[in-house]
Amino acid sequence: MAPVTSLSDAVNQQLTSAISASLPETSADPLLRRSDRADFQANGILALAKKAKANPRDLATQVVSRITTGDVIKDVEVSGPGFLNITLTDKAITENLAARYEDGDRLGVPLKDEPGTTVIDYAQPNVAKEMHVGHLRSAVIGDALRGMLDFTGEKTIGRHHIGDWGTQFGMLIQYLIENPGELAPPDEVDGEQAMSNLNRVYKASRVVFDSDEEFKERARKRVVALQSGDKETLELWQQFVDESKVYFYSVFEKLDMEIRDDEIVGESAYNEGMPETARLLEEMGVAVRSEGALVVFFDEIRGKDDQPVPLIVQKADGGFGYAASDLTAIRNRVTDLHATTLLYVVDVRQSLHFKMVFEAARRAGWLSDGVTAHNMGYGTVLGADGKPFKTREGETVKLEDLLDEAVQRAAEVVREKAQDLTEDEIQERAAQVGIGAVKYADLSTSPNRDYKFDLDQMVSLNGDTSVYLQYAYARIQSILRKAGEVRPAARPELELADAERALGLHLDAFGSTVFEAAAEYAPHKLAAYLYQLASLYTSFYDKCPVLKADTPAQVENRLFLCDLTARTLHQGMALLGIRTPERL
């Protein structure tokens, strides 16, 4: 099936050529917007007339005279000081939607002309540590961005830069050597057991480490053994990684998110390349020795208190850290993965780190003009009280507990709505509703803002929630079931009611919305679009009887509008990583 030219693009093209015919040598943006007065309004002529020192109403009249009305544009008129009001033919609207309807999951949306490769760094928890709400945001936002980018035709490669290296492993491994059997083999535990074992080992080893000087010394030596690649040490390190992965996977599964094993490429994966990174930076003079350490200085980048902060590539003791691993990862992602965009979905508190890493990489020539690097720093998750999300005891909230609670709340909503479901069905739907609610609450706020984790609000049926969207979808499915033998079919010969036009024109804007949201890394724009779609559907449904419409043709056409709305909701939600159950 062929991609569909959107109605707004078609109108835009006509206007643009009419404007350049009237005002040669101007490149014109007609500034086309949806409007309540007509289908579209073009506001661009005022500014153009001003530039050309022409009378805006005269110019507008000239432009209008050059527009062919008929198939697509029914009517165009000058209004106010020089605006254009444009009305489309009913036929053009319905035919456009029919073509989308024919195009399956793509809904007529074209692919990018020149797709690039985006390496997206997201969902990066740390080994032997509990995941927290910050990791939730990275996973949810990253997954949604990836869904949207893929849909535009961009090639995406995921990188889960998990924290799997550092001096704390000396302590952990040494403890395990002295207390063998404390960690069960990874293939014998589920996610919950894995994390509780890891927690226990972490706490116990910390206690010994803090109280026993000799153990501390043995742990320090163990770090050296790990760094020099000692076989036994590495095997135990691997056990910590594998045990943690069992836990990560269980959380990602709960989150209804697919994470590929070959895309879990943690900090340690770059160990081998780090000495080379340091050598190159020093050779090029990008990094210099300072008190034994290898550092990059920046005049233009300032930290807190406006003090310049250096980026430490190699510590004085020879050790490499977080920055060296990220710099080496950039080389890998650009050279080996051929990335044209490096996208990092990481807490805004690390934005200074990335600023410095990107600038150092630019100076080294690893980030050339053809490659963009961007940290989509997201804000903090707050509790209902507006303070950073903590338990009443002041501890970080366990991600799993939070997800479980969301699903439990969702079960209450589902149970209340549909009395005829079995307990299994309730649980299945509750998972889709509860997890969807958590994701949607996150995605519907602009990512750089903090947001409140408020379960009551998240699972509410009223307002801008995923449940509201899922409910709209399920209601449409129920109408389609009730229609029985009568199939949805586009009827371009029919006149459209206002609510039908409004819904239709919004459906036409799905593709441009996804492209914009993907290009701006703004999943909330897609969420807002979907919310508006559900609202427009609701007013259509209130005003236009579907199964009881006047004529059989109208019933078919309205069923068709219902079905296209459902498919668009389904696809849009899927891009955000949210399910749309057939019944609620």
Q: Is 346 in the site for ligand ARG (CB under 6 A)?
A: yes
Q: Which residues in the 125-144 window bind ligand ARG by CB under 6 A?
A: 126
Q: In this complex, which beta carbon is closest to ligand ARG, that of residue 364 or of residue 476?
A: 364
Segments in 444-551 forming alpha helices (H): 455-458, 466-482, 498-508, 510-519, 523-543
Rounded Cα distance between 432 and 170, Å, is 41
Q: How far is the CB of 297 from ligand ARG (least distance, A)?
A: 21
Rounded Cα distance between 437 and 467, Å, is 7
Rounded Cα distance between 9 and 150, Å, is 22
Q: How far is the CB of 322 from ligand ARG (least distance, A)?
A: 7
311-314 and 293-296 beta bridge pairing? antiparallel
Q: Is 164 in the site for ligand ARG (CB under 6 A)?
A: no
φ/ψ (deg, to 5) at 59? -60, -45
Which tokens belong to 45? 């002529």
Question: Which of 14, 124, 328, 432 is in the footprint of ligand ARG by CB under 6 A?
Answer: 124
DSSP one-letter string for 443-475: HTS-TTS-EE--HHHHT-SSSSSHHHHHHHHHH
Q: How far is the CB of 168 from ligand ARG (least distance, A)?
A: 13
Question: Which of 121, 442, 500, 563 is in the footprint of ligand ARG by CB under 6 A?
Answer: 121
- Name the one range near ligand ARG by CB under 6 A: 121-129, 301-309, 398-406, 565-573: 121-129
Rounded Cα distance between 581 and 467, Å, is 10
Q: Please report the beta strands in 236-328, taking only residues with DSSP state E, as ranges in sequence order.
A: 288-290, 293-296, 311-314
Total residues interacting with ligand ARG, rule: CB under 6 A? 8
φ/ψ (deg, to 5) at 159? -135, 115
Q: How far is the CB of 263 from ligand ARG (least distance, A)?
A: 13
Q: How far is the CB of 385 from ligand ARG (least distance, A)?
A: 24
Q: In this complex, which beta carbon is closest to ligand ARG, that of residue 45 or of residue 144?
A: 144
Q: In this complex, which beta carbon is closest to ligand ARG, that of residue 117 or of residue 351?
A: 351
Q: In this complex, which beta carbon is closest to ligand ARG, that of residue 447 or of residue 488?
A: 447
The neighbour count for residue 177, using CB atoms within 10 Å, is 13
Q: In this complex, which beta carbon is closest to ligand ARG, that of residue 336 or of residue 424?
A: 336
- Name the one range near ligand ARG by CB under 6 A: 24-32, 118-126, 206-214, 285-293: 118-126
Q: Which residues in the 299-338 window bind ligand ARG by CB under 6 A?
A: 326
Cα–Cα nearest to 125, from 25, 31, 244, 274:
244
What are 141's strand-pairing partners? Answer: none
DSSP conformational letter for 304:
G
Question: Which of 100, 137, 146, 161 is in the footprint of ligand ARG by CB under 6 A?
Answer: 161
Q: Is 381 in the site for ligand ARG (CB under 6 A)?
A: no
Question: Which of 163, 186, 447, 581 is in the footprint of ligand ARG by CB under 6 A?
Answer: 163
Q: Can you give the binding site for ligand ARG, defined by CB under 6 A?
A: 121, 124, 126, 161, 163, 326, 344, 346
